[in-house]
Amino acid sequence: MKIDSRTISCISQVEAAYQKQIRKTEEEKSNHSALKHEVQSLSESCDKLNRNCEKLNHDIQSKNTHISCLEGQLSNVKQQLEAENTKNGQLKADLERAQMEHGATMKKLGKVDEENGKRSWSKVLSTSWRQEKKVKLLNFHLDTFLGKNQNGILILCLISCMQGVNYRDNF
């Protein structure tokens, strides 16, 4: 059997094409392996991002709950402050009224009718003493209220908020 040059050339071309196809297949296998590794890496990254997203959503929900709690406490403190301010106004009015009564009693004490010498000084002094005591008591309540209002409630509220404790438990 005689092989002519045309057949050799044809075999040579087929072998070259075969070698080229082998190189292409190897390159494709290499690319496929790299892509498979990249897909695996991207899949792991997606899983990690999903876990982080779930954690962040949980943190947001937790913080929203805490904010809601603080808003409730703030609302209660505002109501209590409003009530205390109302009480403060009442105490001031009572104090002014008591001071006016005390002043009037002191004027009466100074203007005892000379013609009515039998007027009981002890009765006038007793009334004056009671009114003076009432003024002192109202001043004490007012001072207590102002101290409680400015220092006590607000500080308790701030401390309670920082510690996550209900401020009303301190009263």
The residue extents of the domains of the chain are: 5-170
Structure tokens at 89: 């106004």
Question: Residue 163: pLDDT above 80?
Answer: no
Query: What pTM was computed for the model?
Result: 0.47
> Would you state the pLDDT for residue 125?
59
Question: Residue 116: pLDDT above 80?
Answer: no
Q: CA–CA separation, 52 vs 95, rounded Å? A: 62
Q: Which residues of 82-116 are buried (b: 16+ CB within 10 A; e: fewer)?
A: eeeeeebeebeebbeebbebbeebeeeeeeeeeee
Mean pLDDT computed over every residue of the chain: 79
